[in-house]
Amino acid sequence: MIEKSTEHTTLTIERHFKAPLPRVFGAWAVAENKRQWFACHGDWTPLDFQLDFRPGGSESNRVASTDGVVHAYQARYIDIVPNERIIYAFDMMLDDKRISVSLATVTFAPEPAGTAMIFTEQVVFLDGYGDNGSRLMGTEIGFDNLRLYVDGNETRPN
């Protein structure tokens, strides 16, 4: 029997983009745009992606890793203020096992040279899942892809 446990942590990532604020926000808000950058492993196989970007809307993303494990992300949007903030809750699963539940807040602000974005994730890892920094690393890779997408490269960076 697997021991039930919870491990809480908070991740904060700040990024600065050359792109104007509406372009950065739009990279989150439009399904065709988000699909271009929302991945941390270019060699994984996309299985399903859906985005209903509105308060009460949802997002799902399923991919298969090179070893066949299905990584599933399911989010629900709680609060959206265009060009200012996004608040959403999401869970992550490996095959049929839920490994984490999170509350994420993304804030955006114009800067003289582009856009500032601050991402804060309050995450609880479940039932002994040993993250070992994988969530932070994967999220940072995703935001590196976001930078490539909004700062000039319109194609999927990975």
pLDDT tens readout for residues 130-158: 888 888 998 999 999 999 999 985 544 43
CB atoms within 10 A of CB 77: 19
The pTM assigned to this predicted structure is 0.90
Q: Are 158 and 46 in contact (CB under 8 A)?
A: no
Residue 49 class from Cβ within 10 Å (0-12 exposed, 13-18 middle, 19+ buried)? middle
Q: Are 127 and 5 in contact (CB under 8 A)?
A: yes
How far is the C-alpha of 27 from the C-alpha of 25, rounded, in Å? 5
| Residue 133 confidence (pLDDT) | 85
Q: What is the pLDDT of residues 68-123, one digit of tens each?
A: 999 999 999 999 999 999 999 999 999 999 999 999 999 999 999 999 999 999 99
State in words which class domain 6-150 has: alpha beta
